[in-house]
């Protein structure tokens, strides 16, 4: 607001320091300058009037002191010096008037004297004004009466000395009372001013903190009235509005004044909900300079003391990058699912190939044995004997009884017959083993096909019997390698498990033990299989122990990791697949080893209580 001309004219006589004082102090400074100017004008008028009257021009010289007050106020940093000059000038004027008129007996009790203490307190404050007031009390109510009584003519008969002194004493008390009342008013005013100033400082500090918080954020912060007219907005709002609309933000106008009609209607409906006390949060896209920006907007009502909605706050955050990241994350998730599916298919295929490969070893051994027996078969000798019989068929009795070769032919046929029967039994056993291996291959493939659709079939299994079946698949290779098998089966109950998964684990463990024993330098190669029930009776424990090459401590932790192997020709899938299969059956596969060349023990734990198929 523009300062009135008269105040600007009074400020001209104030120094820069006095002009920039707080409002309460500035009023006091202006009053002093105004009083000095007024008294200077009176002094000038008095001097002019002495040209046409018998009065002495001496009192007019006080105008010089009033002029000095204005000069001092123009250069002073505090009001003390100009105020002292003003009070001294007024005191000289009052005292000069009193002591110059010897007939003025009651001058010390005149009411105009009360202005001096009040003016002194107003200009100097209570403490600085007190010595000045006491000085005036002594001069005007003690020395002046004594001076009058000594130099005045004899008073008339109505004069009372007691009454004279009582009136002056009461005037002195009233003088001090005016000082006290003025001091009380000044102190109360200063206290109120200081309290107000402290409150304003706290308010300004709070406002500054709030403003700094609002301005320090890149989010949009807006305060509106219930109709949506803008009251407060931070710089982030101004920047966004300038980019969005191309114009400066105006207080008192709505944020959506330049929006399309449908968006204006949408904003009005939202503000109507907020005025009813609801809180809204939504995401809204905007086109800014050809780019799409998504804002997360929150609208909150501002309630007054009566509970009515007095305004609306709007907070908005740019979440464009987050939305783009969510889109990329969704794409990555879909890609990851595809890769995971392909990896799972590859792992299934690897497991099938690994388990089929282990079983094909038994098939290959059985096929080799059958081939060798067929190659060494006595069927060729039998053909030669039959040829001799054909050649001597006309004289067959004579050939069999008299010919040296004929005599040997019946015992030979008997021996060949016995050997062929034995060969037949042996090859039947090998063909049964071969059929079991082929059946196991079929079960592996069937199991993986079922696993792709649902969980494997659960059935009641006799674990020792299943272990013997797994041993039979490796029996030939164990015999050739002179590996001694020790069976230590406790009396254990039947359990409900996936038979083919358990058989797959056992075959893998036996195959690993066989390789560990083959690579070992032990002369007595031994494989021990121990089956028992846990102490709590809840689990069945299968230990496969060998005295082979053992496992180094640094390899124990990685033993069941996919792709890890210590074999030169291994691929690291068998134990990994076996551990997964054990977990699928709610079991656990672990391994312990004292160290290299000290053998190893693989332990399979399975729950005794299972789900009936």
Query: How many separate domains does the chain show?
Result: 4
Q: Tell me which residue of 509, 507, 506, 527 sits closest to 517, measured CA to CA.
A: 527
Residues 571 and 520 in one domain: yes
Q: How confident is the model at residue 165, as a pLDDT?
A: 80
Q: Tell me which residue of 567, 339, 369, 583 sits closest to 476, measured CA to CA.
A: 369
Q: How confident is the model at residue 353, as a pLDDT?
A: 60
Beta strand 588-592 with 526-533 is: unpaired
DSSP states of 523-587: SS-EEEEEEEE-TTSSEEEEEEEE-SS---HHHHTTTTSTT---SSS--S-HHHHHHHHHHHTT-
Residue 328, in any domain of the structure:
no
Residues 472 and 398 in one domain: no
Q: How confident is the model at residue 261, as a pLDDT?
A: 85
Q: How confident is the model at residue 351, as a pLDDT?
A: 55
Final residue in a domain of this structure, among 422, 453, 484: 453
Residues 118 and 156 in one domain: yes
pLDDT in tens, 30-79: 888 888 888 888 888 888 888 887 777 777 777 888 888 889 888 888 88
Q: Taking a C-beta distance cutoff of 8 angstroms, is the pair 494, 460 a contact?
A: yes
DSSP state at residue 219: S
Q: Taking a C-beta distance cutoff of 8 angstroms, is the pair 97, 36 a contact?
A: no
Residue 202, in any domain of the structure:
no
Residues 148 and 276 in one domain: no
Q: How many CB atoms lie within 10 A of CB 171?
A: 21
Residue 64 neighbours by CB under 8 Å, 6+ apart: none
Residues 188 and 66 in one domain: yes
pTM score of the predicted model: 0.38
Residue 141 CA to residue 168 CA, distance in Å, equals 5
DSSP state at residue 78: S
Final residue in a domain of this structure, among 318, 353, 386: 318
Residues 143 and 282 in one domain: no
Residue 392 CA to residue 400 CA, distance in Å, equals 9
Residues 146 and 160 in one domain: yes
Q: Which domain holds residue 105?
A: 5-197
CATH code of residue 266: 3.30.450.20
Instruction: Pick out the chain residues at pLDDT < 50.
Output: 1, 451-455, 611-613
Structure token pair of residue 262: 């449908």
Q: How confident is the model at residue 203, as a pLDDT?
A: 77
Q: How far is CA 423 from CA 370, 373, 414, in A?
A: 9, 7, 14
Residue 415, in any domain of the structure:
yes
Final residue in a domain of this structure, among 453, 475, 508: 453
Q: How many CB atoms lie within 10 A of CB 191?
A: 10
Residues 286 and 399 in one domain: no
Residues 84 and 162 in one domain: yes
Count of positions (residues) in the chain = 613
Residues 444 and 357 in one domain: yes
Residue 334, in any domain of the structure:
no
Residues 476 and 557 in one domain: yes
Residue 172, in any domain of the structure:
yes
């Amino acid at each position: 607001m523009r300062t009135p001309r008269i105040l600007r004219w009074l400020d001209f006589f104030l120094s820069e320091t006095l002009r920039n004082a707080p409002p309460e102090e500035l009023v006091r400074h202006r009053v002093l300058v105004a009083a000095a100017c007024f008294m200077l004008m009176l002094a000038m008028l008095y001097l002019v009037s002495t040209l046409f009257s018998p009065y002495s021009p001496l009192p007019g010289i006080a105008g010089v002191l009033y002029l000095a007050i204005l000069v001092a106020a123009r250069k002073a940093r505090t009001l003390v010096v100009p105020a002292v000059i003003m009070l001294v000038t007024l005191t000289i004027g009052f005292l000069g008037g009193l002591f110059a008129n010897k007939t003025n007996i009651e001058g010390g009790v005149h009411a105009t004297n009360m202005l001096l203490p009040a003016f002194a307190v107003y200009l100097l404050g209570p403490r600085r004004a007190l010595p000045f007031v006491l000085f005036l009390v002594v001069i005007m109510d003690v020395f002046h009466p004594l001076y009058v009584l000594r130099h005045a003519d004899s008073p008339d008969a109505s004069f009372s000395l007691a009454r004279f002194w009582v009136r002056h004493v009461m005037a002195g008390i009233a003088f001090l009372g005016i000082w006290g009342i003025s001091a009380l008013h000044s102190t109360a005013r200063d206290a109120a001013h200081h309290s107000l100033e402290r409150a304003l400082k706290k308010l300004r500090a709070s406002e500054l903190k709030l403003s700094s918080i609002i301005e320090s954020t890149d989010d949009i912060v807006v305060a509106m009235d219930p109709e949506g007219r803008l009251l407060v907005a931070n710089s982030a709002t101004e920047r966004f509005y300038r980019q969005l609309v191309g114009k400066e933000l105006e207080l008192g106008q709505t944020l959506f004044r330049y929006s399309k009609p449908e968006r204006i209607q949408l904003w009005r409906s939202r503000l109507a909900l907020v005025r009813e006390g609801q809180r809204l949060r939504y995401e809204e896209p905007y086109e800014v300079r050809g780019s799409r920006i998504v804002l997360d907007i929150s609208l909150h009502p501002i309630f007054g003391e009566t509970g009515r909605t007095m305004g609306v706050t709007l907070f908005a955050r740019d979440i464009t990058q987050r939305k783009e990241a969510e889109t990329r994350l969704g794409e990555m998730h879909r890609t990851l699912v595809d890769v995971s599916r392909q990896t799972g298919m590859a792992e299934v295929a690897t497991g099938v190939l690994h388990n089929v490969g282990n079983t094909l070893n038994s098939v290959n051994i059985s096929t080799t044995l059958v081939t060798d027996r067929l190659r060494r078969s006595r069927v060729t000798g039998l053909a030669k004997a039959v040829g001799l019989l054909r050649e001597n068929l006309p004289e067959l009795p004579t050939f069999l009884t008299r010919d040296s070769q004929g005599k040997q032919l019946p015992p030979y046929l008997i021996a060949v017959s016995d050997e062929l029967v034995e060969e037949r039994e042996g090859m039947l056993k090998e063909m049964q083993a071969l059929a079991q291996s082929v059946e196991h291959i079929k079960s592996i493939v069937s199991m993986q096909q079922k696993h792709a659709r649902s969980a494997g079939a659960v059935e009641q299994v006799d674990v020792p019997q299943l272990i013997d079946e797994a041993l039979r698949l490796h029996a030939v290779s164990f015999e050739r390698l002179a590996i001694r098998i020790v069976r230590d089966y406790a009396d254990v109950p039947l359990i409900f498990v996936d038979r083919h998964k358990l058989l797959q684990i056992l075959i893998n463990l036996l195959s690993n033990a066989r390789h560990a024993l083959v690579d070992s330098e032990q002369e007595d190669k031994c494989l021990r299989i121990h089956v028992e029930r846990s102490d709590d009776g809840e689990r069945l424990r299968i230990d496969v122990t060998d005295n082979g090459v053992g496992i180094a401590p640094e390899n124990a932790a990685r033993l069941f990791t996919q792709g890890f192997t210590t074999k030169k020709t291994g691929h690291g899938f068998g134990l990994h697949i076996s551990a997964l299969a054990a977990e699928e059956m709610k079991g656990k596969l672990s391994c312990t080893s004292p160290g290299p060349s000290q053998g190893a023990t693989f332990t399979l734990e399975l729950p005794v209580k299972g789900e009936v198929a």
